[in-house]
Structure 1
Amino acid sequence: MGVRLVLLRHGQTAWNAEGRLQGQEDVPLNEKGLLQAASAATPVAVYQPVRIIASDLQRAAMTAQALGEVTGLEITYDSRLREIGYGQWEGRTRDEIGADVLAEVYESAENPRGVDGESLTDAAARTAEALAEIAASGKDGETIVVVTHGTVARAGVQHLLGVPHELWEGFRTMGNCHWLILEREPHRWQLVSYNLHA
């Protein structure tokens, strides 16, 4: 079976609700997000995780804490699981940035987001590195839950699976408190399920 990773996206924040790009701004869960985290905790706990590792941004940490309360597991944190850095775009809506600017930047995964932000390829590489290390630390048959963010969950998994950059937009970003299941077998990664929810 290998090691199973369950990647859980954090619950909703006020900025999610307003359509604002969060990036690495440390925005907490709103009331709906707290309810989502509590609702997701029980079905995710059914996978019987042995560890919970989260991004150190508080929206992910708060989501992980809800799961920790159900499972009794301690949470550890890894800054490599943070969302992509959007630089000057953080806190702005897509309308405020402008469709033409977004289209130009999004033409390539190599382009930095928000002028001084991170490229999608760089964010994918650091996330994939963290996921590979986490999986390598597990034993055969174990499940580890990783609580992270929408863009890096998708891009990190695509990087591990070897999906070409030009096809990355073919994966929809997971919804708040949705999750995916990824398995690390001896010589390959397999995406088992995607965008699951309570």
Structure 2
Amino acid sequence: MSTHLIFIRHAQSTWNELRRWQGHADPPLAESGREQARLLARRLATWRIDHIYTSDLRRAAETAGIVGEQMGLTPTPSAIWRERGFGALEGLTSEEIAAQFPEAWAARMFGPITGIPGAEVQEAVIARARAGVAGLLQNHPGQTVAVVSHGGLILTTLVNLLGLPPSGHALLTVGGNTAISRVVVDGEHVRLMSMNDAAHLELWLGEPV
């Protein structure tokens, strides 16, 4: 029995517009993000989706709410789908991180970023991702479930689902806002059907994401 999992990165937040790392920080969607979410919802309205789960952070929950309203589904919020907490990096731009934490920034080329004061340890993120997926498979066998989450958490989830080593974090990309990645799980067999699909934004006239 195959279970289809659809992982969706949240739409553009006010901090995404400023290129600031967010982690557990909780900025809302920007107006550009609400338009992205509406385009996403229009596309997903033609898909068969049985349930929607979402991170409880506003940028994801607002995105899921717009999608759910279009599809007649009420998203289920859960902190398990939150972004990794980035501690001292939260609120900084990539340029500021590279200047203030050069060793941690360089570590991104080989795996998940490490050595950040106050950050959630990667082992805890992996445990959350595994628990989240296990819950979906247990509660929704044979169904199609969408999860609106965050780039880092989605990346960790995919790396672990596909059985990749930690270097998979450096080989795969988190994708842009509202990017869709689809996985089919059939017992112990996992197939990546698509990754970082944002075709619904191709005709969007907003700023590039």
Contact 2:111 2:168 in 1 (8 A): no
Q: CA deviation at 1:159?
A: 0.9
Q: CA deviation at 1:104?
A: 4.9
| 1:141-180 aligned within 5 A | 142-180=143-181
- The alignment of Structure 1 onto Structure 2 pairs a total of residues equal to 196
Q: Give the one of 121, 125, 128 matched to 1:126.
A: 128
Matched, 1:72 2:41: no
- SS of 2:167's equivalent in the other structure is helix
CA distance in 2, matches of 1:163, 1:21: 25
CA distance in 2, matches of 1:161, 1:119: 21
CA distance in 2, matches of 1:41, 1:127: 25
| CA shift digits 1:32-51 (9 cap, x unpaired) | 00000010012223221111
Q: CA deviation at 1:168?
A: 2.1
Q: CA deviation at 1:174?
A: 1.5
- SS of 2:129's equivalent in the other structure is helix
Q: Which 4+ runs in 1 deviate beyond 6 A?
A: none
Partner in structure 2 of residue 46 of structure 1: 46
- SS of 1:146's equivalent in the other structure is strand
| CA shift digits 1:20-73 (9 cap, x unpaired) | 100010111000000000100122232211111000001000000011111111
Partner in structure 2 of residue 182 of structure 1: 183
Partner in structure 1 of residue 114 of structure 2: 111
Contact 2:182 2:192 in 1 (8 A): yes
Contact 2:107 2:114 in 1 (8 A): yes
Q: CA deviation at 1:189?
A: 1.7
Gaps of 5+ in 1: none
User: Given the two structures, how large is their TM-score scaled by the length of structure 2?
Assistant: 0.87
Contact 1:125 1:156 in 2 (8 A): no
Gaps of 5+ in 2: 201-209
| 1:15-94 aligned within 5 A | 15-94=15-94
Distance of aligned partners of 1:36 and 1:135 in 2 relative to their CA distance in 1, 3 Å threshold? same
Partner in structure 2 of residue 139 of structure 1: 141
Contact 2:11 2:60 in 1 (8 A): yes
User: Given the two structures, how large is their TM-score scaled by the length of structure 1?
Assistant: 0.92
